[in-house]
Amino acid sequence: MIELCNLTIHEANRLLIEHQISSVELTDAVLRRLEQVEPRVRAFVTLTQEQALEQAREIDRRRAVGEEMGVLAGIPVAIKDVLCTQGVLTTCSSRMLENFLPPYDATVVTALKQAGAVIVGKTNMDEFAMGSSTENSAFYPTHNPWDLERVPGGSSGGSAAAVAAGEAIYSLGSDTGGSVRQPASLCGVVGLKPTYGLVSRFGLIAFASSLDQVGPLTRDVTDCALVMNAIAGYDSRDSTSAPIEVPDYTTALVPDIAGLKLGVPREYYGEGIDPAVRDTLEQALGVLEKLGAHVDRDVSLPSSKYSLAAYYLIAPSEASSNLARYDGVKYGYSVRDTESMWGDMFKTRERGFGAEVKRRIMLGTFALSAGYYDAYYAKAQKVRTLIKREFDQAFEKYDALVTPTSPTVAFKIGEKTSDPIQMYLSDICTVPINIAGITAISVPAGLVDGLPVGMQIIGKTFAESMVLRVAYAYEQATEWYRKRPSL
């Protein structure tokens, strides 16, 4: 029998409804697993065991008196430490916010709480979500449960590792350039980046506001749809929230993709993509064809090659503005030992931020400066329009596009830390989706040398149901998602 800590949301929910298990038992099983593996994985920054058990008891009480509850009720979740949790430390894995206790919950956290979720803790990440390996955490790196000497990906590495290791049933991450999908790929779980504006950013600590989205990390596609049902939707407290009708995403879970048109953009299979990853994707495309989809390999998105360059101007520019608020005056880390206010502010930022964050602030400040704005920032925005237009054209012909999620499997801890450009290349397949504001999911599609490979399925704006449908059909036909690391 499968251990309780390795259940999916829908499996656990069934057992809870049938009173075969209680939420306290389930939470206990997850917390025991956590105790056992966390010293090796280090997926968490803060644990909230006591509150979790209290929440679980409360849900059990309500269920016992016959109260109707949603599918997430009583099920343990881990939250990336970029999301504000009222009264619970929210650090963004930065010294700058080491002692920050938010006075409010992010909207997505409120939504989960209202759904009866049991929060077990806050997960480790790259500082301010800048990175692809979780090595930029100011505290410690997280280890990949499939091979503890390797990275879990990033920046939501803690959230992905926690789900893969059985330390939570599911988790939330954030994705600015790939930070939900890439760690999902490297840890063998499912990760979705919603269309920009679909999920509220209220209470999500800002990195690059025109790109950031919150997304779920789960053990299968069904769970992904269930979490999306809880977190998607209009929020008046986020000025970029889309005022749209949100469908029930579980209706997309039909194992039928016969006749769908899938495009395979060649730019995502070329230089820099590990041949073993490419072979794995080739097999996955074969499965999609067998399921009756028309797979067109003659697709080109030529502007995609400028995505990374545009991203590393736009994201740092927005970050340099967003991170100006950390001045040691209002909240967060504060140095008060120089002679002047400016001196204190300077020292606060010098000591409070890590190297990668400072690199981005400098890059962004430069790109936005009067003499260079047109040459860099404005140019990058024009490229952004071109990339978006190319995707729009592709979606006139195709229902979805299929690519690798990450160019490689999980790499060794320390392997890329001295070369930022190599690290940035980890997001070459995921960044264009954020640039275009569209949606994409990563699903487990095979193993190379015992390490997970992810397939990315890309859809147009608000086509979450379409990518979930393709992902679900593929998942049901292959069952790669059932593979778990042996920790």
Site for ligand GLN, rule CB under 6 A: 129-132, 155, 175-179, 207, 315, 427
Q: Which of 93, 132, 159, 179 is catalytic?
A: 179
Torsion angle (degrees, nearest 10) of CA 339, 357, 315, 427? 180
Half-sphere exposure in the Cβ direction for 165 (13 Å, CA): 32
Q: Is 303 a catalytic residue?
A: no
Q: Between residues 23 and 159, which has the closer beta carbon with respect to ligand GLN?
A: 159
Q: Is 80 a catalytic residue?
A: yes
Q: Which of 443, 441, 471, 462 is nearest to 255 (CA)?
A: 471
Q: Between residues 137 and 179, which has the closer beta carbon with respect to ligand GLN?
A: 179
Q: Between residues 268 and 398, which has the closer beta carbon with respect to ligand GLN?
A: 268
Q: Between residues 180 and 281, which has the closer beta carbon with respect to ligand GLN?
A: 180
Q: Between residues 60 and 427, which has the closer beta carbon with respect to ligand GLN?
A: 427
In the complex, the smallest distance separating the C-beta of residue 251 from ligand GLN, rounded to whole angstroms, is: 29
> Residue 10 in contact with residue 123, Cβ under 8 Å?
no
> Residue 118 in contact with residue 81, Cβ under 8 Å?
no
* SS3 assignment for 358-411: HHHHHHHHHHHCCCCCHHHHHHHHHHHHHHHHHHHHHHHHCCEEEEECCCCCCC
Tell me the C-alpha distance between 385 and 380, whole Å: 9
Task: Tell me the residue ranges of DSSP E strands in 276-379.
Answer: 294-299
- What is the arrangement of strands in the sheet containing 400-404, beginning at the earlier edge strand? 44-47, 118-123, 76-80, 170-175, 213-218, 190-193, 439-448, 451-459, 400-404, 261-265, 294-299
Q: Which of 296, 354, 440, 436 is nearest to 140 (CA)?
A: 354
Q: Which of 22, 132, 155, 426 is catalytic?
A: 155
In the complex, the smallest distance separating the C-beta of residue 175 from ligand GLN, rounded to whole angstroms, is: 5
In the complex, the smallest distance separating the C-beta of residue 356 from ligand GLN, rounded to whole angstroms, is: 8
Q: Between residues 8 and 132, which has the closer beta carbon with respect to ligand GLN?
A: 132
Q: Which structure tokens are listed for 317?
A: 């520019």
In the complex, the smallest distance separating the C-beta of residue 366 from ligand GLN, rounded to whole angstroms, is: 17
In the complex, the smallest distance separating the C-beta of residue 276 from ligand GLN, rounded to whole angstroms, is: 22
Q: How many CB atoms lie within 10 A of CB 299?
A: 18
Q: Is 321 a catalytic residue?
A: no
Q: Which of 80, 122, 416, 460 is catalytic?
A: 80
In the complex, the smallest distance separating the C-beta of residue 35 from ligand GLN, rounded to whole angstroms, is: 29
Q: Which residues are catalytic?
A: 80, 155, 179
